[in-house]
């Protein structure tokens, strides 16, 4: 959860974990938790903020950012960057935050595919491709190991500073009095773009390089099995002497290098060697139930006119793009990265909706729920003694979950009492000068809450975790009392917390753009200093999502659609990152030698089955679930992964959960509500809730899902505060309208729902149970699962299975279906979606057989008259000779397309898969979210 040590509030500390590879760094960090010098007493100025206020000087006796020895520290920035807010909690933050006094350069930084570390002579560059399993088998890592160091002859800088940065790139700066050196690096960038003065370009390799190409100013070398290209200006020439490679710059001040996926890629990479990246920016849009995001690099042509570049996309990105990709790939801790030849790419995903609470259902006993609500509302201390930022937040979150539940069953007095408790505690924190307050640090341009916890003050850790609860609670208050949330009242203070953690402005001089959210990595980082050999880390991805969900609800409640849509972008993006990198839902990310199927913590170098405070499997699994709210529904996209997750927890735990049983029941209910209900009923309320939970909320959650069914993530609404549930083929649609007029919500399966102003509405409709397996029935929605029996279906209740794809019988069948396995959906209607394209995600397995090359064709009969008006044949997929599922998607590119798309009117959609090569059969998975076809229709 936090990027520093904590002890469990509910159980003794379990056996110590083997720490990540950054053991020496971690040991120092843990020793320093909570330490630091007291601030010199000073009269703090109070800054008004609506009805609230904050201070501009730390309260007496409190600490701000420090080194590991407790020395106050300020950002390491060049003069050019001096007044620019630093995005702490990033993948490169150790350039700016000198956590360790004896290291004025940086700790390892994981850009992927390249890794970096600053040193006196320049920038170490590595490309780790072989994972190590460490920490008693709990952690896998692709640790930084330098293949080479790039710099200038004679460079010996006393430190490295951050000179410039953008959304996912950074430029570190070296100067030693005679020489200056800059190197622009970033996520997904195979290039390092260097500029320097006072010396020649110098590359020092870790071992004697093998030269595979020497073309004067272009040199190809292999070091430690990795291929690099070095590019000096035209007219320059590289000289190799042992492990030192130098080149004069022919009167220029620039050069570059790139890691190559193979030696034959040199010509392609040479094309972009002097198209220097100068910035990076993401733009997002929420419309029609979808989130579209475009990632763009800006470039400068140092030679010629080329302004394009190459970008390596992470798995969570290439799964959701229809943009063309090259055949080039890289290894990374996040699975395969795929290369695009362009300065931009766009992703599109269904908007994962957020609701204030699950809808009303007949499965909830109101009398029983009222009793549970009273236990919380009438407790002698509803805040359980909390005084610091984190535990106060947890208590606020627990109360906030219950407000709409109480309102739903007509318990308005209890609702208002809970609202009053929340308002009172928030107002205490939002007023400077008391026992709890927020203080602005002008050096780090951050708002720190005191009393702080888990290094949120001394290390700038976890602000997005802690403040998420305040934002979420305020959003629930705003739903019922808009005046309280207005700027002249308490809204301005909430906006300060939002600007500190999730600022959408790149020009705000008080706070950085998205402090902790790494838009390219797809998730947030927790450590404020990034001072570990393993890079940065994040444990509780779910508390990061809690902030995004809070932004959706706060933006909706206050009429700030821009902020609401930011929350939707952050949540939807991080949801896929969690799915892939924490839960390995498609089993394509974790190394084959790693024995766990989920992790508690993601590091820049890999991931670990651990937490910062305990080895208890319940908490390792539960830490990426809590808090369970209407923002947690996104987890239901991969129901099979939830089932595997729970099974692994029980296996590692030696039995069902005991300490955090309520959280894990709620998690399981997202996939199998009936099974979760059995577990709840078996205990019958005789347990102690997790500190952010309550019996009232857990009972309401499990009973509601048992009645309505699990969330149906194949359908999305065009209002971000909506959701769909499915049970026995019947869908329940729900939406909350925060606006002042009635709103009609349209769902992607065509269902509409009229929602009165400031109200929640629900409705039902038939799903697609496919009662006749021999004849596909009418389909709704635009995402179809493959179902054994030759069916494309929108139903999500079918069991996982697999079909056999026939052999090519030793003949090249590339481009022509041969004995294909066919799946169809009939009576499909829809309007063509602008800018959309066919996409699919299939799991195939050739076992140990070589070169069977499964291939897909998708066809559209627009009117159902038996003639296919459009066919799209995709390139075949090169399977490996290792047993295990591999993922085949449209990202391989289209081989041939005939005909045109148009309106679907009771049409037919067909997917055919066959083996294009070889003499063996393959398997294709069916009945899961990893066996889907998405058509470009709404």
Listed residue (296, 316, 778) closest to 583, CA to CA:
316
DSSP track, 92-125 = TGGGT---STT-SS---EE-SS-EEEEETTEEEE
Tokens of 790: 């030759």
**Rounded to the nearest 5 degrees, what angle is found at the Cα of 67, between the Cα atoms of 53 and 92?**
85
Indicate which residue of 90, 457, 539, 712 is catalytic: 539
How buried is residue 827: exposed, middle or buried, by Cβ count under 10 Å (0-12/13-18/19+)?
A: middle
User: Which residues lie across from 46 on neighbouring strands?
Assistant: 55
First to last CA, the chain: 39
Distance from the Cα of residue 335 to its chain's centroid:
14
Residue 543 catalytic?
yes
Distance from the Cα of residue 16 to its chain's centroid:
28
Tokens of 622: 């539960």
Residue 539 catalytic?
yes
82 Cβ contact list (under 8 Å, min separation 6): none
Rg of the chain's alpha carbons, rounded to an integer?
28
Indicate which residue of 124, 462, 824, 861 is catalytic: 462
Tokens of 369: 């729920």
216, 250 contact by CB (below 8 A): no
Give the chain's length: 938
Residue 650 catalytic?
no
In the block, residue with structure tokens 């933050």? 93
CA distances from 289 to 353, 354, 513, 556, 720 (A): 9, 12, 25, 15, 7
681 Cβ contact list (under 8 Å, min separation 6): none
| Interatomic CA distance for residues 624 and 699, integer angstroms | 21
593, 606 contact by CB (below 8 A): no
| Interatomic CA distance for residues 688 and 660, integer angstroms | 9
| Interatomic CA distance for residues 555 and 890, integer angstroms | 35
Indicate which residue of 90, 147, 457, 543 is catalytic: 543
Greatest Cα pair distance in the chain:
84
| Interatomic CA distance for residues 638 and 240, integer angstroms | 52
Question: Known catalytic residues?
Answer: 462, 539, 543
């Amino acid at each position: 959860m936090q990027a520093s040590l904590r002890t469990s509030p509910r159980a003794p500390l379990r056996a110590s974990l083997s720490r990540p590879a950054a053991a020496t760094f971690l040991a120092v960090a843990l020793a320093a938790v909570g330490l630091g010098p007291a601030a010199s007493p000073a009269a703090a100025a109070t800054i008004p903020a609506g009805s609230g206020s904050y201070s501009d000087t730390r309260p007496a006796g409190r600490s701000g950012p420090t080194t590991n020895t407790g020395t106050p520290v300020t950002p390491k920035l060049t003069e050019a960057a001096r007044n620019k807010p630093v995005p702490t909690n990033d993948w490169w933050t150790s350039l700016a935050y000198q956590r360790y006094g004896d290291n004025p350069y940086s700790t390892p930084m994981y850009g992927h595919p390249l890794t970096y570390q600053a040193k006196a002579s320049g920038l170490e560059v590595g490309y780790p491709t072989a994972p190590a399993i460490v920490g008693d088998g709990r952690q896998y890592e692709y640790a930084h190991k330098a293949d080479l160091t790039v710099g200038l002859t004679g460079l010996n800088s006393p430190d490295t500073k951050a000179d410039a940065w953008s959304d996912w790139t950074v430029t570190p700066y070296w100067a030693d009095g005679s020489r200056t050196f800059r190197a622009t690096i970033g996520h997904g960038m195979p290039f390092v773009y260097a500029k320097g003065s006072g010396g020649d370009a110098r590359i020092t390799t870790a071992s004697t390089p093998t030269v595979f190409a020497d073309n004067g100013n272009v040199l190809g070398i292999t070091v430690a099995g990795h291929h690099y290209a070095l590019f000096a200006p035209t007219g320059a020439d590289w000289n190799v002497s042992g492990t030192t490679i130098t080149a004069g710059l022919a009167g220029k001040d620039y050069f570059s290098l790139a890691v190559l996926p193979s030696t034959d890629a040199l010509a392609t990479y040479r094309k972009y060697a002097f198209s220097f990246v100068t910035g990076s920016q993401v733009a997002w849009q929420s419309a029609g139930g979808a989130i579209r995001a475009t990632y763009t690099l800006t470039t400068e042509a140092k030679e010629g006119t080329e302004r394009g570049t190459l970008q390596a996309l992470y798995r969570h990105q290439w799964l959701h793009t229809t943009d063309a990709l090259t055949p080039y790939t890289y290894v990374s801790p996040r699975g395969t990265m795929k290369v695009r030849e362009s300065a931009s790419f766009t992703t599109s995903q269904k908007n994962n909706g957020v609701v204030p609470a699950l809808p009303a259902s007949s499965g909830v006993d109101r009398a029983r729920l009222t009793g549970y609500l009273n236990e919380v509302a009438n407790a002698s201390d509803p805040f359980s003694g909390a005084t610091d930022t984190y535990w106060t937040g947890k208590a606020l979150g627990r109360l906030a979950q219950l407000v709409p539940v109480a309102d739903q069953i007509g318990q308005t007095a209890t609702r208002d009492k809970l609202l009053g408790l929340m308002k009172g505690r928030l107002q205490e924190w939002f007023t400077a000068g008391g026992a709890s307050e927020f203080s602005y640090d002008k050096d780090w341009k951050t708002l720190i809450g005191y009393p702080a916890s888990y290094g949120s003050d001394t290390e700038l850790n976890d602000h997005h975790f802690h403040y998420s609860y305040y934002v979420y609670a305020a959003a629930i208050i705003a739903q019922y009392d808009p005046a309280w949330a207005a700027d002249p009242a308490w809204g301005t203070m909430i906006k300060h917390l939002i600007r500190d953690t999730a600022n959408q402005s790149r020009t705000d001089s008080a706070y950085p753009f998205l402090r902790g959210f790494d838009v390219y990595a797809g998730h947030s980082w927790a450590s404020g200093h990034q001072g570990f050999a393993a890079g940065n880390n994040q444990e509780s991805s779910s508390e990061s999502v809690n902030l995004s969900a809070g932004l959706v609800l706060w933006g909706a409640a206050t009429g700030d659609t821009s902020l609401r849509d930011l929350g939707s972008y952050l949540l939807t993006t991080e949801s896929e990152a969690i799915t892939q990198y924490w839960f390995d839902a498609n089993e394509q990310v974790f190394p084959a030698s790693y024995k766990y199927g989920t992790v508690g913590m993601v590091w820049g170098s890999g991931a670990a089955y651990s937490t910062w405070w305990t080895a208890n499997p319940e908490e390792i699994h539960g830490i990426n679930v809590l808090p369970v709210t209407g923002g947690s529904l996104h987890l239901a996209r991969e129901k099979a992964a939830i089932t595997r997750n729970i099974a692994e927890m029980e296996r590692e735990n030696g039995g069902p959960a005991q300490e955090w049983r309520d959280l894990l029941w709620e998690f399981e209910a997202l996939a199998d509500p009936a099974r979760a209900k059995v577990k709840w009923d078996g205990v019958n309320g005789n347990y102690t809730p997790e500190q952010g939970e309550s019996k009232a909320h857990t009972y309401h959650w499990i009973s509601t899902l048992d009645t309505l069914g699990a969330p149906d993530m194949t359908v999305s609404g065009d209002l971000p505060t909506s959701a769909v549930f499915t049970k026995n083929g019947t869908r329940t649609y729900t939406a909350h309208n925060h606006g002042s007029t009635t709103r009609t919500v349209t769902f992607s399966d065509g269902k509409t729902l009229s929602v009165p102003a400031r109200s929640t509405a629900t409705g039902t409709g038939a799903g697609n149970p496919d009662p006749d397996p021999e004849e596909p029935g009418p389909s709704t929605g635009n995402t179809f699962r493959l179902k054994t029996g030759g069916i494309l279906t929108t139903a999500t209740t079918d069991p996982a299975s697999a079909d056999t794809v026939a052999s090519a019988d030793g003949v090249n069948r590339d481009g022509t279906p041969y004995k294909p396995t066919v799946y169809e959906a009939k009576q499909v209607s829809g309007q063509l979606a602008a800018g959309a394209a066919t996409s699919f995600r299939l799991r195939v397995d050739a076992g140990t057989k070589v070169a069977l090359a499964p291939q897909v064709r998708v066809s559209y009969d627009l009117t159902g008259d038996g003639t296919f008006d459009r066919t799209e044949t995709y390139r075949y997929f090169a399977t490996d000779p290792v047993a295990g599922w591999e993922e085949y998607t449209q990202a391989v590119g289209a081989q041939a397309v005939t005909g045109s798309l148009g309106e679907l009117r009771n049409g037919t959609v067909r997917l055919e898969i066959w083996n294009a090569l070889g003499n063996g059969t393959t398997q294709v998975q069916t009945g899961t979210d990893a066996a889907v076809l998405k058509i470009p229709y709404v």
